[in-house]
């Protein structure tokens, strides 16, 4: 059975989900999965207006509502304006998915300050700025028991590289390691406000960000050696996990990271070595 056929519609009914970087890849997968559960979706994007419009169209065909909002998540003013637009359109925000992320890969001694800064700005500072706006709104509104047991949910889309070191990707791994303790510290601080905070750590999911690792048969073969489950992930694998983590089914799950990686963090090289 395909992942999408497992969906049981309505688990996020009438909740507003703001998903950063939702015009493609994992963000789009999460947008579709949440729309299937009745959520209203704010599709954040940067630069890809046509793709974002298409995502909005696909969501509307699922009989829920969506708007596309362009914003650079690393820009404080743009993030504030994005939340303002979302709240004006839909009344509030219930779920934030900090998904926007980039890679600027380079050997350590060739890595420019721009490569470093851009990745930290989008992946880590962007998640901070969006989370801060979400928390302000969650605290203002409080719990609405008819919608959810929480005043709000924040889900970081981290990576297996919050724990697996990654040569030639030091900026990216550092940003994801940073997310790990940002998420836990926020979870500790915000529990009294009924704000539930967690991460999902995807492994290799077939999206534009890692095209080089799966587009040729040789690349895909070498990638599969790192995945005990024997397949490359699909954005809907992450969508399904995000729906569950945002729904009240996971009400007692707080401050944790759910690895959705086909076993990549089992260090499969040790199956025949060590
Ligand atoms: C990266 C991908 C990579 C995967 C597994 C992700 O966080 O963005 O490029 O394929 O981790 O290494």
Ligand 1 centroid – CA 204 distance (Å): 5
Read off the tokens for 189: 């601080």
- Nearest atom in ligand 1 to the alpha carbon of residue 176 is 7
Of 187, 193, 184, 188, nearest in space to 150 by CA: 193
Of 50, 54, 60, 141, nearest in space to 93 by CA: 141
Counted domains in the chain: 1
Helix, strand and coil in the chain, % to nearest 5: 50, 15, 35
Is residue 274 one of the residues assigned to a domain?
A: no
pLDDT at 22: 98
Is residue 269 one of the residues assigned to a domain?
A: no
pLDDT at 273: 87
In degrees, to the nearest 5, what angle opens at C-alpha 73 toward C-alphas 72 and 79?
90
Tens digits of pLDDT across the chain (274 residues): 444 444 557 999 999 999 999 999 999 999 999 999 999 999 999 999 999 999 999 999 999 999 999 999 999 999 999 999 999 999 999 999 999 999 999 999 999 999 999 999 999 999 999 999 999 999 999 999 999 999 999 999 999 999 999 999 999 999 999 999 999 999 999 999 999 999 999 999 999 999 999 999 999 999 999 999 999 999 999 999 999 999 999 999 999 999 999 999 999 999 998 8
pTM (two decimals): 0.96
Query: Quick one: CA torsion of 156, 161, 163, 167, rounded to 10 degrees?
Result: -150
Catalytic residue among 45, 172, 252, 267, which?
A: 172
Query: Quick one: CA torsion of 57, 58, 60, 64, rounded to 10 degrees?
Result: -150
Range of the domain at 168: 11-262
Which residue shows structure tokens 């399904």?
240
Residue 232 Cβ < 6 Å to ligand 1: no
pLDDT at 2: 47
CATH of the domain at 223: 3.40.50.720
Is residue 175 one of the residues assigned to a domain?
A: yes
Is residue 272 one of the residues assigned to a domain?
A: no
Is residue 268 one of the residues assigned to a domain?
A: no
Per the annotation, the verdict on 172 as an active-site residue is yes
Q: Specify the residue with its C-alpha closest to ligand 1, atom 7.
A: 159
Q: Specify the residue with its C-alpha closest to ligand 1, atom 12.
A: 204
Is residue 240 one of the residues assigned to a domain?
A: yes
- Nearest atom in ligand 1 to the alpha carbon of residue 166 is 12
pLDDT at 274: 86
Is residue 6 one of the residues assigned to a domain?
A: no
Read off the tokens for 33: 């999965």
Q: Among 25, 202, 228, 260, which is best to mutate for testing ligand 1, by the most ligand atoms less than 8 A from CB?
A: 202
Q: DSSP alpha helices (H): ranges in the chain?
A: 25-36, 49-60, 76-90, 113-120, 126-141, 170-190, 217-224, 235-246
The set of residues, in sequence order, having a beta carbon less than 8 Å from that of 122 and lying 6+ positions away, is: 73, 74, 100, 101, 102
pLDDT at 9: 79
């Amino acid at each position: 059975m395909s992942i999408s056929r497992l969906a049981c519609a309505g688990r996020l009914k009438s909740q507003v989900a703001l998903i950063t970087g939702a015009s493609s890849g994992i963000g789009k997968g999460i947008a579709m999965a949440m729309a299937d559960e009745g959520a209203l979706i704010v599709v954040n994007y940067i630069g890809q207006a046509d793709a974002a419009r298409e995502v909005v169209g696909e969501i509307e065909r699922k009989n829920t509502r969506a708007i596309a909002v362009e914003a650079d998540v690393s820009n404080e003013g743009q993030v504030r304006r994005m939340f303002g637009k979302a709240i004006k359109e839909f009344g509030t925000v219930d779920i934030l998915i900090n998904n926007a992320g980039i890679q600027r890969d380079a050997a350590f001694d060739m890595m420019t300050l721009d490569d470093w800064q851009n990745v930290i700005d989008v992946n880590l500072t962007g998640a901070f700025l969006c989370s801060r706006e979400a928390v302000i709104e969650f605290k203002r509104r409080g719990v609405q028991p008819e919608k959810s047991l929480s005043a709000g949910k924040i889900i970081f889309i981290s990576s297996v590289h919050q724990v697996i070191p990654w040569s030639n990707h030091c900026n990216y791994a550092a940003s994801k390691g940073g997310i790990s303790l940002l998420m836990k510290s926020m979870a500790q601080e915000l529990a009294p406000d009924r704000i539930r905070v967690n991460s999902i750590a995807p492994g290799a999911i077939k999206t534009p960000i890692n095209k080089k690792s799966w587009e040729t048969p040789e690349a895909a073969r070498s990638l599969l050696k790192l995945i005990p489950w024997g397949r490359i992930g699909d954005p809907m694998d992450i969508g399904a996990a995000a729906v569950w983590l945002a729904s009240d089914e996971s009400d007692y799950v707080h401050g944790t990271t759910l690895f959705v990686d086909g076993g990549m963090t089992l260090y499969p090289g040790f199956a025949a070595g060590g």
